[in-house]
Amino acid sequence: MGVITLEKLPYAENALEPIISAKTISFHYGKHHAGYVATLNKLIAGTPFEGLVLEEIVKRSEKEGVAAIFNNAAQVWNHTFYWKSLAPEGGGGTPEGAFAEAVARDFGDCGAVVKALADAAVKRFGSGWAWLVAERGKLSVISTPNAETPLTRPGITPLLTLDVWEHAYYLDWQNRRADYAAAALGLVNWTFASAAYNKTR
């Protein structure tokens, strides 16, 4: 009861090769992501956070300034969202419905969305995340430092994310964050972003 679980990867550990290797995912999912889950469960045991759903833990711990719980809870949520933001080559579909219209209106095309995400990924100093978000239907790209997440921002809906912590790319790309971002963003799951956006309409 009240235990936060590690959500299953939506594909095999080698499904994003050669851009993201099975070795990277085995550490990133199996050690980092799983580690945040384990630490979070230890931290919330016996506190008022125990028994809340993950999204509530993220929001309440940020509001109440409980940094250790927030950092681990947000990292659990961000990583689950990251895995879903990517798809094996050729499996990411295309923007659908109202989301397709929003992409055309706010960016022109998918290539411009990818370019903005790559730019945000490269400009984020240190560890963090690049995001495509919607606010009152309008699309924009932002980045957050460390564990921070747009999930807690009122009126903002996260649609896609790219992890730009070094652990996301160092084994495969070493220091070349820009190359990782450009390649990984070729694996964007537009079907996932469409569903997230179209739910807000």
Provide the 10 A C-beta neighbour count for residue 116: 19
Question: Footprint of Mn ion on residues 6-35 (CB under 5 A)?
Answer: none
DSSP SS3 for 128: strand
The interface mask with Mn ion, positions 115-154, x = CB under 5 A, is ----------------------------------------
Q: Binding of Mn ion at residue 81 (CB under 5 A)?
A: no
Q: How far apart are CA 167 and CA 172, in angstroms?
A: 10
Q: How far is the CB of 32 from Mn ion (least distance, A)?
A: 5
Which of residues 25, 130, 158, 163 is near Mn ion by CB under 5 A?
Answer: 163
Q: How far is the CB of 145 from Mn ion (least distance, A)?
A: 13
Q: How far is the CB of 51 from Mn ion (least distance, A)?
A: 26
Dihedral, CA of residue 22, residue 23, residue 24 and residue 28, to nearest 10:
100
Which of residues 165, 173, 190, 197 is near Mn ion by CB under 5 A?
Answer: 165
Using a 10 angstrom Cβ sphere, with 0-12 exposed, 13-18 middle and 19 or more buried, the burial of residue 125 is exposed
Choices 2-10, 148-156, 167-175, 182-190 (CB under 5 A): range interacting with Mn ion: 167-175
Choices 11-19, 88-96, 149-157, 168-176 (CB under 5 A): range interacting with Mn ion: 168-176
CA angle 142, 145, 147 (to 5 degrees): 110
Q: Binding of Mn ion at residue 172 (CB under 5 A)?
A: no
Q: How far is the CB of 110 from Mn ion (least distance, A)?
A: 24
Q: How far is the CB of 41 from Mn ion (least distance, A)?
A: 18
Which own/partner contact pairs does 112-115 have at CB distance under 8 Å and 24+ positions apart? 113/139, 113/141, 114/185, 114/186, 114/188
Residue 63 phi, psi dihedral angles, 5° rounding? -60, -40
Residues in contact with Mn ion, counted by CB under 5 A, come to a total of 3
Q: Applying CB under 5 A, which residues contact Mn ion?
A: 163, 165, 168
